[in-house]
Chain A
Amino acid sequence: MAELVESKRPWKAWIYLSPAIFLLLIFTVWPIINTVRMAFLESYSGLKAAGGQTFRIGIGNFQKVLKYQKFLSCLKNTFILCILTVPISTILALLIAVALNSIKFMQKTLQTIFFLPYVTNSIAIGMVFAAMFNMVGSFFGTPNEIVVTAGIINNLLEFFGGTAVNWINYGSSYAANITVMVIYIVWNALPFKILILLGGLQSINKQYYDAARVDGTSRKRIFTKITVPLLSPIIAYVVITGFIGGFKEYTSIVGIFGASMGPADNAGRLNTMVGFIYDALSSNSQGRASAAALILFSIILVVTLINLQVSKKRVHY
């Protein structure tokens, strides 16, 4: 085999590869190396570096980052969002995909409808969600609370006899904020997962289901004992990419809360890891940002390794 693949003129292959390698070196490899470098230079700042200042090597950036109250809150937000949204969106996507796969009527139309969020800009979706959960009034959280008008979600709640909830506005609670974020992120994550899982479902041999039917297998048992195990490699893929995406959550917060990353009275309350890095960069603290980026990287690495370890036992290839 080796002879077949090996070229007689290897330099030719390098020439073909060079544009891609060149761009990768500049835009991927060097930034990664530079991130590590900046992270280990004490209090590194691009501005000061341009002014000719030199920095000592050390782990001061990491120490500073870990001491930051803001960083810990960002870490907490990221973890909460990840742990809630990945399982919920995966299970929902699985159920929807199985349902979509089992119906014949309007299947293609429904598939398209379920896929629409994927082609919609997430900031735009965020603004629509913000409008849906919105509440306009004043004195929120005080006995003299005045609600002038409420978004469609609160309208619905009141229609069914509930009371309006202050989801995202001035004075809203952390739990309400997280609930909105979870609903929004799950909704945003569904289409891609449904698409991938549906593709997987359609590649399962129909004879397994015929065999199960002849043997009188219940629907629940077919789902848990046949569909899920046969789909497990794809479920693992969806979960792993879901966690990686979840740890990089940022735009969704901006989409709902805008640049303040929290309700008006508590700006930055819902900030995430990526948000923290972004803020550090914009305040010209590249060293701190790089250290946070490396911490985020190592968290994603560890979680992915755990995922792979778990899937080794659970996934049937």
Chain B
Amino acid sequence: MGEIRELSDINLEVSLGPIRLKNPVMLASGTCGYGRELTPHLDLNSIGAVVVKGISLEPRPGNPPPRIFETPCGLLNAIGLENVGVKAFLTEKLPWLKDQGISTVVNILGNSVEEYKRLCSILSEESQSILAIEINVSCPNVKAGGVAFGRTPEGTYEVVRHVVEVTEIPIIVKLSPNVTDITSIAQAAQDAGAHAISLINTILAMAIDIEKKRPLLGNTFGGLSGPAIKPIALRMVWEAHRAVDIPVIGIGGISTWKDAVEFLMAGASAIQIGTATLVEPGSAKKILDGLTRFMRQKGYREVEALWID
């Protein structure tokens, strides 16, 4: 007998309310395209779910370049929610995901409650091939985008309450960290009927080009992601988990399996890999493998056993 008794019967499945995942590792919206782009690098069926690039009612061209800039241990981006629009998504992108049997979460964004509702109604026609809808109430990039809703509990409540009425598809609300008190926003999402919350989205930030004496990003402000934001994200996941009863999906700078374990210990039921996929497209699988190994070695039979009480 070795010193460490490894478990062979661990259960990686997680339930986020009505959302069932084969394991807790998901790919974050905006870092995995519409899934297919990643296939040479990652077996999408091996991970919990893919959250596709945020979809709006109409196609969006995105922001003028430069759209990205590297900062110490971080990535600043102002893509501007470029996407093909819901119509093209349903005809050109979703059929492939469906054919492959990939667990697909559709991230959506809108400029009004009405737009969120319409998007949810349209997506409901494909409810068989959509595992969940993730509502972006937090993306800080587009001036007229989701910022206003996610900034306040009232705004968050308003959007969520309306979308849960129009669709049977489970709703995940993706929270912005650019708020004074994350717990009140998390509670508002829960009160409005959200099935789960995911956090954090990127942190509003900027960089300046000192030679040209102007902001570096075409959009002036961008969202910061990557290892630099992990400690902030972890703190917010900890707080949110203790403020609500619905499941929390941890996001923010997760780059290694150890990071994933930290988020799960903080109270997340699942995690999303974002910037790490951009750095190394196969990251999610490595993180899943490392997490599985850790759970076996330490004797954690299921994901939520990792929670710190």
A joins B in a complex: no
